[in-house]
């Protein structure tokens, strides 16, 4: 009887803008190892980047100047890749787009988690002052 196993890879980066590309490259290497297609790897890279950016933008908010760390935990299973992006900040900027895209209401921010929700198979964002913020994303392997 075959037992399903999974592997966990954890990457820790400083909560600084210049390290987001490091996170993207690290996770894209994992996705490549799992034989996801190029388009899917691009999606995964973007999603991880957006989650890290969400953490950094909250880290850079006024009054929160201490350097923080972002933890990217990847769970590799036979049929899926689950990525959790943890940081100690509080906040998930996830807003619905306005129904009408008129100039006055056009937002200049808040597209990040919307993109993750569109390109990943699952997304949850959990935030609290006690535990910080976790953005959990899943991409399933296609047959």
Residues near another protein (CB under 8 A) are 17-18, 20-21, 24, 39, 42, 45-46, 49-50, 53, 56-57, 97, 101, 103, 106-112, 114-115, 118-119
**Residue 19 beta carbon to another protein: minimum distance, rounded to whole angstroms:** 8
Q: Report in angstroms how near the CB of residue 37 gets to another protein at its nearest.
A: 12
Q: Which is nearer to another protein, 6 or 118 (CB)?
A: 118
* In the complex, minimum distance from the CB of residue 3 to another protein, in angstroms, rounded to a whole number: 37
CB of 14 to another protein, least distance (A): 12
Q: 22 vs 76, which CB is nearer to another protein?
A: 22
Burial letters for 67-103: b for 16+ Cβ neighbours within 10 Å, e otherwise? ebebbbbbbbeeeebbbbbbbbbebbbbeeeeeeeee
Half-sphere exposure of 81 (CA within 13 A, CB side): 27
Q: d(Cα 116, Cα 106) in Å, to the nearest integer? A: 19
| C-beta of 20 vs 85, nearer to another protein | 20
Residue 91 vs residues 28, 45, 94, 129, 137: alpha-carbon distances, Å: 25, 21, 9, 9, 16
């Amino acid at each position: 009887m075959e037992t399903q196993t999974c592997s966990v890879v954890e990457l820790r980066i400083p909560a600084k803008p210049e390290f987001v590309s490091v996170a993207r490259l690290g996770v894209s290497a994992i996705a490549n190892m799992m034989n996801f297609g190029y388009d899917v790897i691009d999606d995964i890279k973007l999603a991880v980047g957006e989650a890290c950016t969400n953490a950094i933008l909250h880290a850079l908010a006024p009054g929160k100047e201490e350097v923080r760390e972002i933890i990217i935990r990847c769970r590799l299973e036979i049929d899926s890749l689950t990525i959790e992006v943890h940081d100690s900040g509080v906040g998930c900027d996830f807003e619905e787009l306005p129904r009408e895209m008129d100039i006055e209401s056009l937002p200049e921010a808040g597209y990040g988690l919307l993109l993750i929700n569109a390109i990943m198979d699952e997304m949850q964002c959990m935030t609290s002052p006690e535990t910080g913020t976790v953005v959990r994303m899943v991409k399933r392997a296609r047959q």
